[in-house]
């Protein structure tokens, strides 16, 4: 990676004297107009950048009051010109940087210093409307349009959003309040959304109080989400943590999420719109996730799954005071499939449900969904689960005439709450097998002794992505 030195003659001279080779690097850096000391330390990333600039070079003021939307846009516009020359990084220095929505560019890194806070503005005119997602056909909150995410990108390659645990604060309170009062006719913005993009990294940040979903990669591939602390009040509306949506090859690891909705929600479009676009979420790894979400799932599959969900591998999942473990949400009208789902090593404490599948999640974009579009749910595997203080071990409801099949549950120990429900496993329209599960499952999941439910042994390409050490 390039080591840029400030153009103080003495430094340059001594550097040249000490290390002849370094002079080349200095010359390289000299071409960069907005040069700065790379003093913010080292960080891991899919790619390092040759050029580097600081947000304040573009007139930004970190007082928490001045709007910096223009500065972010000007900086990124400027740095986009280096895309074909080694790329560029934008450093957000210590301070409180108020901004509206801004767009990223390719071969680009947004790096937050550990004491940097990006604040989402409350001025709604700084969140421009953008078209609704083609695979949703309508706004998710309201039938009107939707507003651009705080950090937005489309049709990009090689984008990194990272920091030494710097903070992005969506200041969601006013959005939640207005949403609850039904004062919006548009869909609230997300915190980070990348569409139609390849090679994405979002890592080592604290994200708080998004107006709605936090991290939303959609129609994208090769996505790495790592080391995020995501925090929102547990009663805030739709503050999902990470929502891979119609994405291929995604790895979500080492995240700690407290939120008012699903910690991770795997999606692929809604009813007839999702079916028409037809882009599945597949080859997804979720590992070392810790979740607290009393009214939602640790990992939800759906409810928007109309492009299909296949090959999801979740392991080393911890949840505390959370409504459910891995939950399948679907309905007639969704079409497509959820299949080849593998989960192992879940540790759960104080849960309403351990296993929850529902075929009646009847929330539709409009009345024009296809009643013949029935989803196929098949090959759902769980093993090595320990759960304490559980209200319902299993609520597994397929669709009448469209049973959920190939359910496999092995090596599961569930301890119930003090006053357990009478019907501990409520199973309808499902089939599968179990092994070594307590309490004893329903009759539709008969015991098959000695069975270990499968978990794939092969590696996915996203597992082989290596991070380089870059300097900021
Ligand atoms: C980028 O900013 C630098 C320094 O402000 C300036 O010299 C350069 O002309 C800008 N480049 C573009 C393409 O605007
Ligand atoms: C950001 O990207 C969107 C979608 O391409 C576009 O409509 C908008 O004008 C862009 N905003 C800026 C400031 O470039
Ligand atoms: C982005 O990519 C999509 C899918 O390839 C394409 O339909 C769309 O036109 C592209 N948009 C832009 C602004 O290039
Ligand atoms: C990042 O900051 C959050 C919030 O202060 C903290 O809980 C978390 O432990 C920090 N993560 C790291 C890796 O330092
Ligand atoms: C949405 O609300 C805004 C502000 O209240 C109003 O100006 C606009 O006409 C409304 N749009 C629709 C489609 O109802
Ligand atoms: C059963 O699950 C527990 C908890 O994850 C694990 O420690 C144990 O090794 C598993 N047993 C087998 C036979 O796989
Ligand atoms: C067990 O779960 C109940 C809710 O069902 C909760 O009120 C209680 O505090 C939990 N007990 C422990 C020991 O965590
Ligand atoms: C069991 O599940 C079925 C189907 O979802 C539901 O109709 C029924 O009320 C449930 N029974 C209990 C006791 O919860």
Q: Which ligand is nearest to the CA of 227?
A: 4
Domains (ranges, CATH) in the chain? Answer: 30-259 (2.160.20.10), 262-472 (2.160.20.10)
List, for the chain, all residue ranges whose pLDDT scores fall below the cut of 50. 1-33
- E strands, 113-220, where? 116-120, 129-130, 146-147, 151-154, 157-163, 166-169, 192-195, 198-208, 215-218
Largest CA distance in the chain: 81
| CA-81 nearest atom, ligand 1 | 13
CA distances from 281 to 7, 250, 278, 312, 406 (A): 48, 9, 10, 9, 20
Residues found in the chain: 472
Whether the CB of 403 sits within 6 Å of ligand 5 = no
pLDDT value at residue 39: 73
Q: Which ligand is nearest to the CA of 83?
A: 1
CA of 191 to the centre of ligand 4 (A): 18
Phi-psi region of 260 (alpha: psi -120 to 50; beta: other; left: phi over 0): alpha
Q: Give the residue among 264, 244, 265, 247 at the shortest CA–CA distance from 256.
A: 264
CA of 175 to the centre of ligand 5 (A): 16
pLDDT value at residue 37: 61
- Whether pTM > 0.85 for this model: the answer is yes
- Report how far residue 316's alpha carbon sits from residue 289's, in angstroms, rounded to the nearest whole number: 7
Q: Whose CA is nearest to atom 8 of ligand 6?
A: 384
- 187 forms beta bridges with 146
Half-sphere exposure in the Cβ direction for 463 (13 Å, CA) = 11
Helix (H) or strand (E) segment spanning residue 12: helix 9-18
CA of 237 to the centre of ligand 5 (A): 22
| CA-155 nearest atom, ligand 3 | 1
Q: Could you report the per-residue pLDDT of 65-90, keeping only the tens digit for each?
A: 999 999 999 999 999 999 999 999 99
- Report how far residue 91's alpha carbon sits from residue 108's, in angstroms, rounded to the nearest whole number: 11
* Whether the Cβ atoms of residue 375 and residue 268 lie closer than 8 Å to each other: no
CA of 295 to the centre of ligand 1 (A): 49
* Whether the Cβ atoms of residue 112 and residue 167 lie closer than 8 Å to each other: yes
- Report how far residue 192's alpha carbon sits from residue 404's, in angstroms, rounded to the nearest whole number: 34
* Whether the Cβ atoms of residue 293 and residue 326 lie closer than 8 Å to each other: no
Active site residue 261: yes
Whether the CB of 122 sits within 6 Å of ligand 5 = no
Residue whose token pair is 């499968």: 454
Q: Whose CA is nearest to atom 10 of ligand 4?
A: 165
Q: Whose CA is nearest to atom 9 of ligand 5?
A: 185
Alpha helix segments (H runs only) across 122-280: 173-180, 271-277
Whether the CB of 261 sits within 6 Å of ligand 6 = no
pLDDT value at residue 174: 96
Helix (H) or strand (E) segment spanning residue 387: strand 376-397
Does 303 sit behind a cis peptide bond, omega within 30 degrees of 0 on the bond before it?
A: yes
Q: Could you report the per-residue pLDDT of 344-387, keeping only the tens digit for each?
A: 999 999 999 999 999 999 999 999 999 999 999 999 999 999 99
Please choose from 323, 352, 417, 421 the residue to mutate so as to test ligand 7's pocket, defined by most ligand atoms within 8 A of CB: 417
Q: Whose CA is nearest to atom 4 of ligand 6?
A: 384
- Phi, psi of 205, deg, nearest 5: -140, 160
CA 240, 246, 247, 250 dihedral sign is positive
Q: Could you say which of 169, 245, 261, 384 is catalytic?
A: 261
Q: Which ligand is nearest to the CA of 359?
A: 8
| CA-154 nearest atom, ligand 2 | 5
Q: Whose CA is nearest to atom 11 of ligand 4?
A: 165
- E strands, 33-156, where? 42-45, 51-54, 88-92, 95-99, 102-103, 108-112, 116-120, 129-130, 146-147, 151-154
Residue whose token pair is 């928007």: 304
Whether the CB of 411 sits within 6 Å of ligand 6 = yes
Q: Whose CA is nearest to atom 1 of ligand 2?
A: 103
- Report how far residue 164's alpha carbon sits from residue 112's, in angstroms, rounded to the nearest whole number: 7
Does 141 sit behind a cis peptide bond, omega within 30 degrees of 0 on the bond before it?
A: no
Whether the CB of 23 sits within 6 Å of ligand 2 = no
- E strands, 398-429, where? 404-416, 425-428
CA of 332 to the centre of ligand 4 (A): 42
Q: Which ligand is nearest to the CA of 99?
A: 2
CA of 249 to the centre of ligand 8 (A): 37
Q: Whose CA is nearest to atom 9 of ligand 7?
A: 350
């Amino acid at each position: 990676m390039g080591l840029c030195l400030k153009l103080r003659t003495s430094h340059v001279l001594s550097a040249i004297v000490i290390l002849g080779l370094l002079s080349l690097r200095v010359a390289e850096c000299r071409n960069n107009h907005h040069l700065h000391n790379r003093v913010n330390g080292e960080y891991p990333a899919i790619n390092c950048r040759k050029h580097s600039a600081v947000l304040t070079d573009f007139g930004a003021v970190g007082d928490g009051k001045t709007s910096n939307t223009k500065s972010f846009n000007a900086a990124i516009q400027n740095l986009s010109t280096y895309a074909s020359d080694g790329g560029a990084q934008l450093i957000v220095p210590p301070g409180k940087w108020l901004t509206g929505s801004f767009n990223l560019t390719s071969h680009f890194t947004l790096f937050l210093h550990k004491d940097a806070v990006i604040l989402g503005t409350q001025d709604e005119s700084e969140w421009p409307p953008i078209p609704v997602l083609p695979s949703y056909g309508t706004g998710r909150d309201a039938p009107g349009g939707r507003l651009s995410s705080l950090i937005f990108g489309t049709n990009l390659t090689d984008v990194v959003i990272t920091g030494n645990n710097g903070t992005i604060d969506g200041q969601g309170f006013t959005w939640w309040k207005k949403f609850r009062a039904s004062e919006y006719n548009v869909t609230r913005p997300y915190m980070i959304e990348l569409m139609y993009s390849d090679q994405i990294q979002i890592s080592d940040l604290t994200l708080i109080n998004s107006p709605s979903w936090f991290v939303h990669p959609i129609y994208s591939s090769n996505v790495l989400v790592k080391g995020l602390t995501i925090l929102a009040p547990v009663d805030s509306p739709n503050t999902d943590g990470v929502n891979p949506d119609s994405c291929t090859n995604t790895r979500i690891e080492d995240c700690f999420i407290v939120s008012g909705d699903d910690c991770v929600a795997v999606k692929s479009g809604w009813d007839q719109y999702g079916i028409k676009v037809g882009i599945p979420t597949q080859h997804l790894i979720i590992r070392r996730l810790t979740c607290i979400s009393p009214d939602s799932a640790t990992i939800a599959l759906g409810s928007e799954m109309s492009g299909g969900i296949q090959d999801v591998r979740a392991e080393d999942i911890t949840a505390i005071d959370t409504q459910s473990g891995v939950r399948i949400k679907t309905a007639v009208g969704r079409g497509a499939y959820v299949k080849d789902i593998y989960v192992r090593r879940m540790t759960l404490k104080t849960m309403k449900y351990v296993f929850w599948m529902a075929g009646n999640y009847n929330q539709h974009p409009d009345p024009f969904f296809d009643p013949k579009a029935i989803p196929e749910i098949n090959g759902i595997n769980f093993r090595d689960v320990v759960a304490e203080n559980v209200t319902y071990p299993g609520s597994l409801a397929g669709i009448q005439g469209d049973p959920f099949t190939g359910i496999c549950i092995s090596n599961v120990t569930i301890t119930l709450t003090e006053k357990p429900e009478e019907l501990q496993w409520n199973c309808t329209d499902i089939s599968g097998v179990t092994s070594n599960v307590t309490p004893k499952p329903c009759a539709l999941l008969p015991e098959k002794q000695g069975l270990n439910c499968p978990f794939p042994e092969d590696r996915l390409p996203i597992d082989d992505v290596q991070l380089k050490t870059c300097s900021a």
